[in-house]
Amino acid sequence: MYQPNLRCSWTITVSRGRRATIRFTSLDVEEQPGCVYDYLQVRDGADSISDSLGKFCGSTIPSPVVASGRTMFLVFVSDGSVGGAGFSVEYAGVTNLARRRSTAQSSTGYGLTSSKAVDGITDGIVWHYSCTHTHTQSNPWWRVDLGSTRTIFAVDVFNRVDECCSDRLNPFYVHVGHSTSVTSNPTCGGQQSVSGDYKSVPCNGLQGRYVGVALQGSGRTLTLCEVKVFGV
């Protein structure tokens, strides 16, 4: 049982080039709407003013939490009344599993092949030849083969940022699973959209060998300027 009136903090820092991740192995913290009294706050950075990644209480084990970088800040707070057993987490530094892996896409336009999305270049300028490009078609898709079944926590999808067509990507879907048919696999959180240069899509531990990005509808063109897949 944890003590009353606690305020404990931890900073997690993993190796450069990795993203900090925690996985809950137990959770028993006083439950209330909004986690007002007792809670674990997880922040995306090195201090208490970094963006929140979540506030946790109750007894339901949450999905894994993934930072945008190598550092994560945790604060546990309790009040003076009801308590619980507390929580335990395991942390790790997850890497980009997609880099230079085998890829495929539904068609290729302008010589911009599927491998351009895993070349490590994220500048978003199509005519630097660092992005993929399909023909305009119905339901275009892109896929990477991770080589074996992996547990996926997040997928970063990088959009083009040049003068043309950044809106073409929206809406899109990220799929993870065991089928080479992208849309036969489960989605990470359903329909997604991006408003800047990239969108980090949480996948909450979905397992699969293949990660794909797909668009729905006719007259769609899929351009990806990088896809990073974080997992173990």
Listed by start position, the domains of the chain span 7-95, 102-231
What CATH number does domain 7-95 carry, 3.40.50.1820, 2.60.120.290, 1.10.390.10, 3.90.1150.10?
A: 2.60.120.290
Pair 3, 77: CB distance under 8 Å? no
The answer to whether domain 7-95 and domain 102-231 are alike in fold is yes
Strand partners, 217: none
Identify whether 171 is preceded by a cis peptide bond (ω within 30 of 0).
Answer: yes
Helices (H), the chain: none
User: What is the pLDDT averaged over residues 36-55?
Assistant: 96
User: CA nearest 154: which of 40, 80, 33, 69?
Assistant: 69
Strand, coil or helix: 182: helix
Contact between residue 40 and residue 87 where contact means Cβ atoms under 8 Å apart: yes
Q: Look-up: residue for tokens 């900073």?
A: 11
pTM here?
0.86
Centre a 10 Å sphere on the Cβ of residue 83 and count the other Cβ atoms it contains.
18
Q: How far is CA 187 from the centre of its chain?
A: 12
Q: What is the CATH number of domain 102-231?
A: 2.60.120.260
pLDDT tens-digit series, residues 102-137? 999 999 999 999 999 999 999 999 999 999 999 999
Q: In which band, very low, low, confident or very high, does the pLDDT at 225 lie, cut at 50, 70 and 90?
A: very high
Average pLDDT of the chain is 96
CA distances from 232 to 106, 123, 146, 150 (A): 27, 26, 11, 6
Count Cβ atoms within 10 A of the Cβ of residue 220 and give its class: 0-12 exposed, 13-18 middle, 19 or more buried. buried
Q: For residue 35, what pLDDT is reported?
A: 96
> Band of the pLDDT at 83, cuts 50, 70, 90?
confident
Identity of the residue numbered 213: V
Mean pLDDT, residues 212-219 taken together: 98
Q: Is the pLDDT of residue 192 over 90?
A: yes
